[in-house]
């Protein structure tokens, strides 16, 4: 704060003030000097705040202008339209591809299961059928007799 004066300079100024003003009026003079210093600090703080407010207002005005120009130009709208068109084209192509794959997929799954590709299962009537009859006298597992 007192970069201009060293301690020796301050002591010499206080000694001169004591001799010139006198010990009786020195406290009143120091009180007035303190008030002036406080007023100076308050004015400097107010000036700094007003400059900061003006700078902030200027930045806000620039941002508003930029937002307005973006709203007018709207570069995202063209991008969104192209994305939605590409999305609808991809959806349409996938739908047609799935429609084409459906019958061939059914034929392949029937072939993999050992079923004829005609669609319905055929029963081999020449194979012998055996029926197992349960003997009522035999117990089944888990039942009590």
- Band (pLDDT 50/70/90 cuts) for residue 91 is confident
Confidence at residue 38, expressed as pLDDT on a 0 to 100 scale: 95
Confidence at residue 98, expressed as pLDDT on a 0 to 100 scale: 74
For residues 73-94, average pLDDT = 76
Give the range with max mean pLDDT: 1-5, 62-66, 69-73, 139-143. 62-66
Q: How many Å apart are CA 95 and CA 88, to the nearest integer? A: 10
DSSP notation for 21-77: H-TTTHHHHHHHHHHHHHHHHHHHHHHHHHHHHHHHHHHHHHHHHHHHHHHHH-HHH
Confidence at residue 49, expressed as pLDDT on a 0 to 100 scale: 96
At how many degrees (to 10) do helices 26-73 and 7-21 cross?
A: 130
The yes-or-no verdict on residue 92 having pLDDT over 60 is: yes
As to burial, measured by CB atoms within 10 angstroms (0-12 exposed, 13-18 middle, 19+ buried), residue 17 is: middle
Structure tokens of 29?
Answer: 């003079």
Cβ atoms within 10 Å of 87's Cβ, excluding its own = 10
Confidence at residue 114, expressed as pLDDT on a 0 to 100 scale: 54
Q: For 2-44, what is each residue's pLDDT tens digit?
A: 567 788 988 898 888 889 988 888 889 889 989 999 999 999 9
The pTM of the full predicted model, rounded to 2 decimals, is 0.39
124 phi and psi angles, rounded to 5 deg: -80, 110
Helix/strand/coil for 135: coil
For residues 102-112, average pLDDT = 59
Strands (E), 1-145: none
Q: How many Å apart are CA 142 and CA 30, to the nearest integer? A: 110
For residues 61-84, average pLDDT = 79
Confidence at residue 122, expressed as pLDDT on a 0 to 100 scale: 55
Average pLDDT value for the chain: 76
- CB of 19 closer than 8 Å to CB of 11: no
- CB of 70 closer than 8 Å to CB of 64: no
Confidence at residue 105, expressed as pLDDT on a 0 to 100 scale: 61
């Amino acid at each position: 704060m007192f970069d201009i004066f060293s301690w020796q300079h301050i002591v010499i100024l206080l000694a001169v003030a004591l001799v010139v003003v006198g010990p009786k009026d020195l406290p009143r003079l120091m009180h007035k000097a303190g008030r002036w210093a406080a007023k100076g600090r308050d004015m400097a703080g107010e000036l700094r705040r007003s400059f900061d407010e003006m700078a902030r207002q200027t930045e806000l005005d620039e941002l508003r202008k930029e937002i307005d120009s973006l709203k007018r130009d709207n570069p995202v709208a063209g991008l969104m339209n192209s994305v939605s068109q590409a999305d609808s084209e991809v959806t349409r192509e996938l739908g047609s591809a799935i429609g084409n794959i459906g019958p061939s997929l059914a034929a392949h799954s029937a072939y993999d299961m050992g079923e004829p590709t005609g669609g319905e299962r055929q029963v081999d009537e020449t194979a012998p059928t055996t029926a197992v009859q349960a003997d009522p006298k035999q117990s089944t597992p888990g039942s009590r007799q």
